[in-house]
Structure 1
Amino acid sequence: MGDGQSPCEEPAPAGASAPEDLHDTVAKLMQGFWPGFSYMAEKTGALDLSLMPDSYSATALAEVMDRASRAALGRMTLGLSPGALLGAWTDWASHLALSPGKQMQLVHKAQKKSARLFSYAADCAWRGNAGPCAIQPLPQDHRFEGADWQAWPFNLMSQSFLFTQQWWHNATTDVRGVTAQHERVMAFTVRQMLDVWSPSNFIATNPEVLRETVMTGGASLVRGWQNFVEDAERMAGGGKPAGAEAFRPGEAVAVTPGTVVWRNHLIELIQYAPSTDKVHADPVLIVPAWIMKYYILDLSPENSLVRYLVGEGHTVFMISWRNPGPEDRDLGMEEYRTLGVMAALAAIGRIVPERKVHAVGYCLGGTLLGIAAAAMARAGDDRLASLTFLASQFDFSEAGELTLFINESQVAFLEDVMWEQGFLDARQMAGAFQLLRSGDLIWSRMERDYLLGQRREMTDIMAWNADATRMPYRMHSEYLRRLFLDNDLAEGRYRVNGKPVSISDIRVPVFSVATTRDHVAPWQSVFKIHTLADTDVTFLLTTGGHNAGIVSEPGHRRRSFRMHRTAPTDRAADPDLWLAVAQEREGSWWPAWQAWLAERAGSLVEPPVIGLAGAENDGISGPPIAAPGTYVFME
């Protein structure tokens, strides 16, 4: 029985093969059910029923059918697992059913809220619109702030909706026995469902839309319909949002002068041309996240971090990641480390020999850089002079709202989606991010663009946000499982070349930047670098979100930051204590970081040559390729 055979099965005779008609029938059925069947059968060989005993054939076929069916379903759900949602609902519903006290409490709350709403309605009827609101929206909810929402009957509609929303929050939280993750999923899901029926989403129940419709004689609705049709056509054709074409890389964004000096299958390495007579001796390498195009750090000239660093006398190198396709399905985290970070360091070492590198990692690029730095420290590789992490996490136990979509059911479902197509599609990834901020990215946009007939002016950061990339099947699966799901890096189980690596092995100084409104990498999670790294850590907390907080050029309005250095001997691991100690400063954080970097980047010297002196550029044949290179244009 240890060979996988059922005790009731007749062992297959040696050399026996499955009937030809059975093989053909199964193949035809699977080909009709799943177009990728022939490709996977050829790649794996596991589906050739003539090569293995029936029990193994059935197991392989069953697994492929399961994966294919989940992959087909995933195309309709944007990669979100119905099983994960069903599990959360079952956990919540079963525990609520066994909690009569909670049920009584909810009935009591419903009665109280109904009484308050009735009292508010009566007060409005008696005194007109002068009565104070019976319930206030959450601070981030701006749907009902306009003066038109204070007039009857729209004030009653909005108040009724807010009471309903509050009651359902009470119903989905604090149910004894429900796991914390399932509670968050239920509260999030119910909120999404309620938001669909918000009175702000419909013409007849939105006073601002009605006012605009009357004032324009219906022209606003005509414009809204035109906007909807245009967006639908662009989405169906795989195009970018309206206005994004004005921010093409190399023309309006990503225009800092530079040259691609190294290239392999995964990266192009850009070296930027100096703009000062002298430069700091030590170069800077920037490792962006591969989830999006690199030029978030080289947007328009006025808010380009790259241009700012070059203008301050730094020699800057930038990794531009390839947009992977189905052929890259087997690229994993190790390939991203070796073909990305390590290959770039090797190329920089040939261009600027005998100088150490100040490495900068953004988001996932920072996590990868931390892994590479830890492996280098373990191996005694001292090519790094300092590390800067921008909104980067290493402990994923509190990794923000994205953990709503990270559990075994969701990861397995997403793996099946990627297994079929070889990568995670950018639209599937964008769907999850839009749900996390549905108020800003879905409903308010629908109201503005389609009901009011207005278009928000496209900006460089909005155009970049629409220029997403794919992620290889193996890499994203490893990332989700080893980092998010199992938290291997923080807990000392993450392996490079078969040996575990630890952030605590890093000895070079660290500068870590977090943002106050980051829903991807919450600043308290980023702050955990203090407990993981056994080195000098300068932590900076700036206002803004995950992207806008990092793109915070000098002169940017309403920006401030806090910064405090923590030595290894006086480690302060509590974020609240750190917040009380670090003083707030007005303005951009870029000059403070640049001053920290300049202190460690060596004396001023003549700028290095672009690429390899007297030799053909590594990995590149033909004439030099100007920045932004070619990989940034891969769709």
Structure 2
Amino acid sequence: MTEAISTTEKQPRGLENQFVPADTENFFDKYTQGIRIVVEGPQAETGMTPKEVIWTKNKAKLYRYQPALEKTHKTPILIVYALINRPYVLDLMRGNSLIEFLTNQGFDVYMLDWGTPGDEDAHLSFENYVLDYIHRAAKKVMRSARTDQLTLFGYCMGGTMSAMYASLYPENIKNLILMTAPTDFERENLGLYSLFTNEKYLDPGLMADAFGIIPGEIIDTGNRMMKPVTNYIGSYVGMWERIFEDKPMEGWLAMNKWVNDGPPFPGAAFKQWITEFYQQNKLIKGEIKLRGFEVKLENITAPLLNIAGTKDHICSIPQAEATMNVVSSEDKEFFVQDAGHVGLLTGRGAKKGLWPKLESWLSERD
């Protein structure tokens, strides 16, 4: 009869407990913390800079930030964000907020928050957003600040819309800031979006008819697939690393809350965005019409700060740089940072690069 040999006796000395942490209770506390984040989603306080609502239209709200703080710069800033994701990424958290920084420098800052569209908003198009919402918000900002011009600051798709507005109402624009704002949708510059938006594979009209408003999860999936490993795996690898190495979690939680907080996209605007911009590239050609008004970017004459990131996979350098060749502004600058679409805006690099640049550029043109 053969004698049984125990597994423990066959292991080299010292390895029998290699997967058992010395502080078991602390290990399971951290494990529980991570699992809770995975299951419930990241929880964080965001958008904390004091503000007041000064105008509303449908779901949209116009905020004025830190109204009690003294304003030392006379030209108000109206920030226009994209129709996807939430604009609080500009006011992510205390100490990591572009809006907080600008207001602390004495700027009079306003932001248009599109809100969450419902099924009844499926018909909303760029005609509505540019000619009704942005135009009326701009007039409200100028009345509030008692000025006849403003600085229009557009981010991502909000920058594309801001460029369209500035071309239609140049008399209202003192300065124009475009950040990661695509205006040229030539296929060779789109990366994977060239495949995702190709008319052979995507019929935006069919999607708009089927959904009415496109669920935020669909838009989010398309954006994440640009960098699937980073977006689906890397983010949570970073989470576990932070938890088990006792690194600060606040920034990770705030950013990942924002990433997973995408609103739906009205079907009419989605159809326009994919068809007329990505598939037909009408904007840079001067072929976009909003209620019969031709959108010609050469009508833009205001000082222009055009910002892009070398690591941006949402808006490539050529998509943003094309604006420089068509506007009529004599005072124009293309400012490029070694950062991604959101990294331009938040974090240590933004505080050292973009934020001081905005403060100095705006101060010189107040």
TM-score (norm 2): 0.84
- Displacement, 1:216? 3.0
For residues 228 and 296 of structure 1, the distance between their equivalents in structure 2, rounded to whole angstroms, comes to 23
Match of 1:497 in 2: 291
- Displacement, 1:275? 6.1
Residues 424/355 of structure 1: CA separation in 2 closer, same or farther (3 Å cut): same
Overall identity of the aligned pairs, in %: 22
Residues 227/279 of structure 1: CA separation in 2 closer, same or farther (3 Å cut): closer
Letter in 2 for 1:421: F
For residues 256 and 231 of structure 1, the distance between their equivalents in structure 2, rounded to whole angstroms, comes to 25
8 Å CA contact retained: 1:282, 1:355 = no
Match of 2:114 in 1: 321
Match of 2:281 in 1: 487
For residues 448 and 256 of structure 1, the distance between their equivalents in structure 2, rounded to whole angstroms, comes to 27
Whether 2:177 is the aligned partner of 1:388: answer yes
Residues 297/233 of structure 1: CA separation in 2 closer, same or farther (3 Å cut): closer
**More divergent stretch after superposition (455-464 vs 507-516):** 455-464
Letter in 2 for 1:341: I
Whether 2:194 is the aligned partner of 1:403: answer yes
Match of 1:430 in 2: 220
For residues 550 and 559 of structure 1, the distance between their equivalents in structure 2, rounded to whole angstroms, comes to 5
Match of 1:542 in 2: 337
Whether 2:270 is the aligned partner of 1:467: answer no
For residues 158 and 33 of structure 2, the distance between their equivalents in structure 1, rounded to whole angstroms, comes to 36
Match of 1:599 in 2: 364
Residues 336/410 of structure 1: CA separation in 2 closer, same or farther (3 Å cut): farther
Match of 2:229 in 1: 439
Whether 2:49 is the aligned partner of 1:263: answer no
Letter in 2 for 1:420: A
How is 1:486-565 mapped onto 2 (pairs within 5 angstroms)?
486-535=280-329, 536-552=331-347, 556=348
Matched residue SS, 1:594: helix
Whether 2:86 is the aligned partner of 1:293: answer yes
Larger radius of gyration, structure 1 or 2? 1
8 Å CA contact retained: 1:448, 1:454 = no
8 Å CA contact retained: 2:344, 2:354 = no
Cα deviations across residues 543-585 of structure 1 (Å, max 9, x unaligned)?
2210011225xxx2x569xxxxxxxxxxxxxxxxxxxxxxxxx
Whether 2:353 is the aligned partner of 1:588: answer yes
Match of 2:5 in 1: none
Match of 1:41 in 2: none
8 Å CA contact retained: 2:52, 2:67 = no
Cα deviations across residues 592-630 of structure 1 (Å, max 9, x unaligned)?
2211111222xxxxxxxxxxxxxxxxxxxxxxxxxxxxx
CA RMSD, 1 decimal: 3.0
Matched residue SS, 2:83: coil
8 Å CA contact retained: 1:223, 1:454 = no
- Displacement, 1:396? 1.1
For residues 82 and 62 of structure 2, the distance between their equivalents in structure 1, rounded to whole angstroms, comes to 14
Cα deviations across residues 107-131 of structure 1 (Å, max 9, x unaligned)?
xxxxxxxxxxxxxxxxxxxxxxxxx
**More divergent stretch after superposition (344-353 vs 355-364):** 344-353
Residues 389/445 of structure 1: CA separation in 2 closer, same or farther (3 Å cut): closer
Structure 1 counterpart of 2:206, from 394, 416, 420: 416
Matched residue SS, 1:295: helix
8 Å CA contact retained: 1:275, 1:313 = no
For residues 278 and 485 of structure 1, the distance between their equivalents in structure 2, rounded to whole angstroms, comes to 44
Residues 419/228 of structure 1: CA separation in 2 closer, same or farther (3 Å cut): farther
Matched residue SS, 2:92: coil
Number of aligned residue pairs: give it.
341
Letter in 1 for 2:172: R
How is 1:147-186 mapped onto 2 (pairs within 5 angstroms)?
none
How is 1:53-452 mapped onto 2 (pairs within 5 angstroms)?
214-216=18-20, 234=40, 241=41, 244-245=42-43, 247=44, 252-274=45-67, 276-377=69-170, 382-397=171-186, 398-412=189-203, 414-444=204-234
Letter in 1 for 2:155: Y
8 Å CA contact retained: 1:275, 1:310 = no
Structure 2 residues not aligned, in runs of 5+: 1-14
- Displacement, 1:233? 5.5
For residues 225 and 273 of structure 1, the distance between their equivalents in structure 2, rounded to whole angstroms, comes to 39
Structure 1 residues not aligned, in runs of 5+: 1-210, 235-240, 561-586, 602-635
For residues 194 and 320 of structure 2, the distance between their equivalents in structure 1, rounded to whole angstroms, comes to 15
TM-score (norm 1): 0.50
Cα deviations across residues 350-407 of structure 1 (Å, max 9, x unaligned)?
2223431011000000000111111124xxxx11101000110111112343222011
- Displacement, 1:230? 5.8
- Displacement, 1:442? 2.1
8 Å CA contact retained: 1:267, 1:339 = no
Letter in 1 for 2:313: H
For residues 495 and 353 of structure 1, the distance between their equivalents in structure 2, rounded to whole angstroms, comes to 31
Letter in 2 for 1:595: S
Matched residue SS, 1:597: helix
Letter in 2 for 1:493: E
Residues 275/597 of structure 1: CA separation in 2 closer, same or farther (3 Å cut): farther
Match of 1:203 in 2: none
Residues 541/435 of structure 1: CA separation in 2 closer, same or farther (3 Å cut): same
Larger helix fraction of residues? 1
Letter in 2 for 1:253: T
Residues 428/475 of structure 1: CA separation in 2 closer, same or farther (3 Å cut): same
8 Å CA contact retained: 1:542, 1:559 = no
Structure 2 counterpart of 1:476, from 259, 270, 280: 270
For residues 559 and 265 of structure 1, the distance between their equivalents in structure 2, rounded to whole angstroms, comes to 33
Residues 343/509 of structure 1: CA separation in 2 closer, same or farther (3 Å cut): same
For residues 448 and 301 of structure 1, the distance between their equivalents in structure 2, rounded to whole angstroms, comes to 22
- Displacement, 1:256? 1.1
- Displacement, 1:229? 7.6
For residues 30 and 175 of structure 2, the distance between their equivalents in structure 1, rounded to whole angstroms, comes to 51
8 Å CA contact retained: 1:266, 1:339 = no
8 Å CA contact retained: 2:184, 2:322 = yes
Cα deviations across residues 125-182 of structure 1 (Å, max 9, x unaligned)?
xxxxxxxxxxxxxxxxxxxxxxxxxxxxxxxxxxxxxxxxxxxxxxxxxxxxxxxxxx
